[in-house]
Amino acid sequence: MTDNAHLARETDATAIRALLEESRAAWNHGDGPAYGRCFTHDATDVTFAGTVYRGGSEIGRAHQALFDGFLKGTELTVEINDIRFYGADTAVVTTYGDVGKRRPKRLGKLATYTVVRESDGRWRIAAVQKTQRKRLMEAVSFRLQPATRPASH
């Protein structure tokens, strides 16, 4: 990779981190419309409960209802684990995170984001899949079938 290409990747990675920070800040302020603007117009959001929302407008609308209801006053914690680029305008981001009234001691959710650079040059979330981590099940699996343990674990 050339120095210019490496610099461009670093610039894009910084923009992607800023996008996820923007979505986190919108969540923490209970601002559904701002949260929805972090997504593409045709985005897919699969919650850890299995609910599927489509499009930034619907994602924002539904989350506003959640922020006004049982997610009122919650904070989203997100820690980026990995950013992998697939071409100049697409990246897959894996994160650890959780939601609660205060920062959790242990992050119990994983999320995989597909982010894209849109025609206006901004990165937005095209898809996100959230999964509740099952640590006990994972530990049992690794113990009974050691070959299931990821290399990075």
| Other C-beta atoms lying within 10 Å of the C-beta of residue 118 | 13
Q: What is the pLDDT of residues 47-90, one digit of tens each?
A: 888 899 999 999 999 999 999 999 999 999 999 999 999 999 99
Q: Which domains does the chain have, with CATH numbers?
A: 3-148 (3.10.450.50)
State yes or no: pLDDT of 142 exceeds 80: no
Of residues 121, 116, 122, 130, the one with CA closest to residue 46: 130
- Gap between the Cα atoms of 23 and 37, Å rounded: 8
Q: How many residues does the chain have?
A: 153
- Gap between the Cα atoms of 10 and 26, Å rounded: 24
Of residues 112, 111, 115, 113, the one with CA closest to residue 90: 115
| Other C-beta atoms lying within 10 Å of the C-beta of residue 69 | 8
pLDDT given at position 137: 78
Question: Residue 148 — very low, low, confident or very high, per pLDDT cuts 50/70/90?
Answer: confident
pLDDT given at position 122: 97
Share the mean pLDDT of the chain. Answer: 92
Helix or strand (DSSP H, E) at 123:
strand 123-132
State yes or no: pLDDT of 153 exceeds 60: no
pLDDT given at position 18: 98
State yes or no: pLDDT of 22 exceeds 80: yes
Point out which residues pair with 129 in neighbouring strands.
46, 112
State yes or no: pLDDT of 138 exceeds 80: no
- Gap between the Cα atoms of 45 and 51, Å rounded: 8
State yes or no: pLDDT of 9 exceeds 60: yes
- Gap between the Cα atoms of 47 and 79, Å rounded: 17
pTM above 0.85, yes or no: yes
pLDDT given at position 134: 73
pLDDT given at position 81: 96
